[in-house]
Amino acid sequence: MSVIIDGKSLAKEIRENMKQEAEKLKEQGIVPHLAVIMVGNNDASKVYVRNKSKACDEIGIEFKEYLLPENTKQNELLDLIKKLNKDKSVNGILLQSPIPKPLDIQEAFNTISKEKDVDGFNPYNVGNLCIGQDGFIPCTPLGIMKMFEKYNIEIDGKKVAIIGRSNIVGKPMAQCMLSKNATVTICHSRTKELKKEVKDADIIIAAAGKRNIVTEDMVKDGAVIIDVGMNRNEEGKLCGDVEFEKLINKASYITPVPGGVGPMTIAMLTANVIKAAKLQNNI
Ligand code: NAD
């Protein structure tokens, strides 16, 4: 029977620590402040932003939402980011993805000041992660690394297969694993033999957004399975990328969906905002 990694309670523990950090900052007259920009009307984004707002409220992070209409122009979006960059009361800036098609999201990420880039998507922070220097690490991989730390799961020398190569999850995840001396294979939609690439892995991180892409026969006994995917089954219930029920007796550790990676992502966002507030105040 696998150990089920309890992301929900670990996230709660991190939020409690962040609440104490926020209180210490308040004693020094500093109120950590996150600005979140949403463009258009994406229902899933609204849910994510609401959850982020709830976590910030609980901790004592000021949370301000900027809702831009669907037909926003690139220069209008960049102007808002530049305004928030200059605003000394704002410590973190987050641009919720996706944004409407004609807009260039990478240019927007590039415009977020590197000191306020709490999602870690600015090339400066991406570069720092690649060369092993301190910076902002994207919240999902950062949360997954916390899970490994909490459960004392060894990474050094292990074979890791990551399914997905997005800038948000797959690529930064690979860098995090590499920084802990894993041997990393990144699989993606053009990978020819997914099963062959994954079968040998000690650690599997599934982030394809494809329900049941990781099947029982792809996993070796005792592998660690981290399920990042967020999909809906026929009944509309949230589920991951992994055949959870079948793998629960095969994996050594496994994350559930919901209650695994999701809550950790939000907790690490609050940790990055606190980190930004401290750095900007030389603490
Ligand atoms: P994305 O669509 O940007 O990337 C998906 C990746 O999966 C791509 O690199 C693609 O090449 C790869 N892929 C697709 N089909 C594949 C296949 N058949 N075989 C191998 N690789 C395949 O998505 P993303 O933003 O990286 O998110 C991935 C999933 O993780 C989604 O379900 C998303 O909702 C979820 N997610 C969860 C959290 C969380 O906090 N739990 C955070 C971010 C993303």
Whether pLDDT at 90 is above 90: yes
- Give 25 Cα–ligand 1 centroid separation in angstroms: 36
Ligand 1 atom nearest the C-alpha of 191 is 20
106 sits in the region (left: phi over 0; alpha: psi -120 to 50; else beta) called alpha
pLDDT in tens, 222-260: 999 999 999 999 999 999 999 999 999 999 999 999 999
Shortest-distance Cα residue to atom 17 of ligand 1: 189
Q: Which two tokens stand for residue 240?
A: 């991951």
Shortest-distance Cα residue to atom 31 of ligand 1: 209
Amino acid at 222: G
Provide the 3-class DSSP secondary structure of residue 253.
strand
Whether pLDDT at 24 is above 90: yes
Q: Which residues are catalytic?
A: 52, 96, 119
pLDDT in tens, 177-207: 999 999 999 999 999 999 999 999 999 999 9
* Euclidean distance between CA atoms 132 and 193, whole angstroms: 31
Cis, peptide link before residue 98, omega less than 30° from 0? yes
Indicate the angle between helix axes 7-27 and 43-59, nearest 10 degrees. 50
Length of the chain: 283
* Euclidean distance between CA atoms 111 and 133, whole angstroms: 21
Q: Which two tokens stand for residue 189?
A: 């939609």
Shortest-distance Cα residue to atom 34 of ligand 1: 230
Residue range 82-97: mean pLDDT, rounded: 98
Provide the 3-class DSSP secondary structure of residue 138.
coil
- DSSP type of residue 215: -
Whether pLDDT at 1 is above 90: no
Do 10 and 226 meet the contact criterion of CB atoms below 8 Å apart?
A: no
- Give 187 Cα–ligand 1 centroid separation in angstroms: 11
Do 88 and 113 meet the contact criterion of CB atoms below 8 Å apart?
A: no
> CB of 170 closer than 6 A to ligand 1?
yes
pLDDT for 180 equals 98
Ligand 1 atom nearest the C-alpha of 261 is 41
> CB of 256 closer than 6 A to ligand 1?
no
- Give 172 Cα–ligand 1 centroid separation in angstroms: 13
* Euclidean distance between CA atoms 268 and 7, whole angstroms: 12
Do 200 and 219 meet the contact criterion of CB atoms below 8 Å apart?
A: no
Whether pLDDT at 210 is above 90: yes
- Give 208 Cα–ligand 1 centroid separation in angstroms: 3
Q: Can you list the alpha helix ranges (DSSP code H) found in the chain?
A: 7-27, 43-59, 74-86, 105-111, 123-131, 139-150, 170-179, 194-199, 244-247, 261-280
pLDDT in tens, 137-154: 999 999 999 999 999 999
93 beta partners: 35
- Give 139 Cα–ligand 1 centroid separation in angstroms: 15
Nearest CA-CA partner of 240 in 253, 264, 258: 258
Tell if the pTM clears 0.85, that is, is over it. Answer: yes
* Euclidean distance between CA atoms 76 and 98, whole angstroms: 17
Whether pLDDT at 121 is above 90: yes
> CB of 147 closer than 6 A to ligand 1?
no
> CB of 191 closer than 6 A to ligand 1?
yes
Whether pLDDT at 43 is above 90: yes
> CB of 267 closer than 6 A to ligand 1?
no
- DSSP type of residue 242: B
Q: Give the chain's end-to-end CA distance (angstroms, integer).
A: 44
> CB of 187 closer than 6 A to ligand 1?
yes
> CB of 8 closer than 6 A to ligand 1?
no
Amino acid at 66: Y
Q: Which two tokens stand for residue 171?
A: 């690529």
Residue range 84-108: mean pLDDT, rounded: 97
Query: Which domains are present in the chain?
Result: 29-115 (3.40.50.10860), 139-261 (3.40.50.720)
